[in-house]
A and B are shown apart, each in its own frame.
Chain A
Amino acid sequence: MEKYLNKGIKAVITEFPAIGAILDGYNIGCTLCGVGTCLLKDIVQVHNLSPEDEHSLMARISSVIYPDREVEMSFTPSVNAAPKPRSITYSPPMQGLVDEHTVIKRVLAMIPVIIETLDVSRYDDRRLVLDTVDFIRSYADKYHHAKEEEILFKEFDPNLEMVKVFNEDHMIGRGHVKAILEGLEKNDNQSVKEHLIGYRELLTGHIKREDEVLYPWMDRNLSITQVGSLSAMFTDVDRQFMDVREKQEAFVNRLEETNKFEEVR
């Protein structure tokens, strides 16, 4: 069993597809993750299941891996396991990141509307794509993701698979943005649409996993001194990016207004 606990979840699910369905049953959405290098043992611990749920989940997983024999459970329940709250509450710096996600999700919600009639040979459509890319680059990436990569993630072990996975999502997102701009340059309408949708799908899952799993787990493992120092550093970044925030939040409002779209919050 030890071998599988220390194995990446994608490899485990590939070998034993039934485990993906079991994880789904506990609201652990690894089957949707494009990277899947988190270790099985980390995934179980990070989701803050009750000790009973952790035990039953591990029992079901081991019965899939070893259907013919009873497995001695050497798995150690999470040290910081806490009773599952009815709703997630975040420390102030983490709440700031969640609030930024709300702004990003409003743009993600607009992407299907943007591509519906997109024709990159038209000036206005090109302008709209360029403005959307500007939002992604300046707000979602340079402002929000940089807070994570340069500040928050540095509070944790850089070798932690889970942190690597979220960093990798950022890289994949940057790849989509690059491809959108290349598509514009080549007047390739289809490619621009595909990468806008690819970015939307990537970030939708990424944000959900951060809001529901990563940030609560990080909050449980940060000391109060770390929370205070993160808050101070985030405040500095907020100050530096005040113009960017104002400009991009105005863009989101305009985008929704232009398309008569109800805000998704």
Chain B
Amino acid sequence: MAFEGCPGSKMAYFEDKEVQDDAPEAKVKSRLRQWPVQLHLVSPMAPYFQGADVLLSADCVAYALGNFHGDYLKGKALAIACPKLDAEQDIYVEKIKGLIEDAKINTLTIMIMQVPCCSGLLRLAETAAQSAGRKVPIKYIVVGVQGEILQEAWV
């Protein structure tokens, strides 16, 4: 694998990725508890956000991370967004602020990819949290393009 240019959009092919051939193709139960999930479409007033542990995930995370549902989505309300391609991100800041202030969420976990542009989602959340009238613990998790957890820390 080799990156060239912007790591957010340059091609990478993981041809040597080892997959255990005899691993059982178990049916993984979906842990999604709501619809919709896209941040522009969800409302902070939705019942599933009230007092919830919320996962705000960059779009690509669920594809990179093999155990996204069981290890990270389970028990949480979800919103997804792409800080690189999505428009009108000022609305995102207001939505996240609304989750903290109005939905009185319990915690916020931000999952982003390792590519630099993805850190924009964390910055949006930090901006929203700073302007909110209450504080919630915010954790961020950085996922590698091959699904490895690179960093996990509290904001």
- CA separation between A224 and B77, bound complex, in Å? 13
Q: Number of B residues contacting the other chain (C-beta, 8 Å)? A: 14
Interface stretch among B85-93, B118-126, B134-142?
B134-142
Residue in B closest to A94 when the chains form the complex, CB atoms: B154
Known: A225-B75, A225-B106. A231 touches B136 (CB 8 A): yes
13 contacts between A and B (CB under 8 A): A89-B153, A90-B154, A92-B138, A93-B137, A224-B109, A225-B75, A225-B106, A225-B107, A227-B107, A228-B136, A231-B135, A231-B137, A235-B134
Residues of B within 8 A of A229 (CB): 106
A228 touches B53 (CB 8 A): yes
Question: How many contacting A-B pairs (Cβ < 8 A)?
Answer: 36
Q: Given the interface contacts A90-B154, A224-B107, A225-B107, does A235 sit within 8 Å of B135 by beta carbon?
A: yes
**What is B's interface to A at a CB cutoff of 8 Å?**
53, 75, 105-107, 109, 134-139, 153-154
Name B154's contact: one of A89, A232, A235 (CB within 8 Å): A89
Q: A92-B137, A93-B137, A235-B135 are in contact. Are A228 and B106 (CB under 8 A)?
A: yes
Within 8 Å by CB of B135, from A89, A92, A227, lies A92
Q: Are the C-beta atoms of B154 and A92 separated by less than 8 Å?
A: yes
Residue of A nearest to B139 (CB): A224
A residues lining the B interface (CB < 8 Å): 89-93, 95, 224-225, 227-229, 231-232, 235
Residue among B75, B137, B154 having the largest count of chain A Cβ atoms under 10 Å: B137
A227 touches B75 (CB 8 A): no
Q: A91 contacts which of B109, B135, B137 (Cβ < 8 Å)?
A: B137
- Residues on A with C-beta less than 8 A from B53 are 224-225, 228
A91 to B154, CA, bound (A): 6
Chain B contacts for A90, CB-based, 8 A: 154
Closest CB-CB distance, A88 to chain B, in whole Å?
A: 12
| A230 to chain B: closest residue by CB | B137
Q: Which residues of B contact A228 (CB under 8 A)?
A: 53, 105-107, 136-137
**Alpha-carbon distance between A70 and B137 when the two chains are bound, in angstroms:** 48
B155 to chain A, nearest CB (A): 8
Not counting A89-B154, A225-B53, A225-B107, a sample of 17 additional A-B residue pairs whose C-beta atoms are within 8 angstroms of each other reads A89-B153, A90-B154, A91-B137, A92-B138, A93-B137, A95-B154, A224-B139, A225-B75, A225-B106, A228-B53, A228-B136, A228-B137, A231-B107, A231-B136, A231-B137, A232-B106, A235-B135
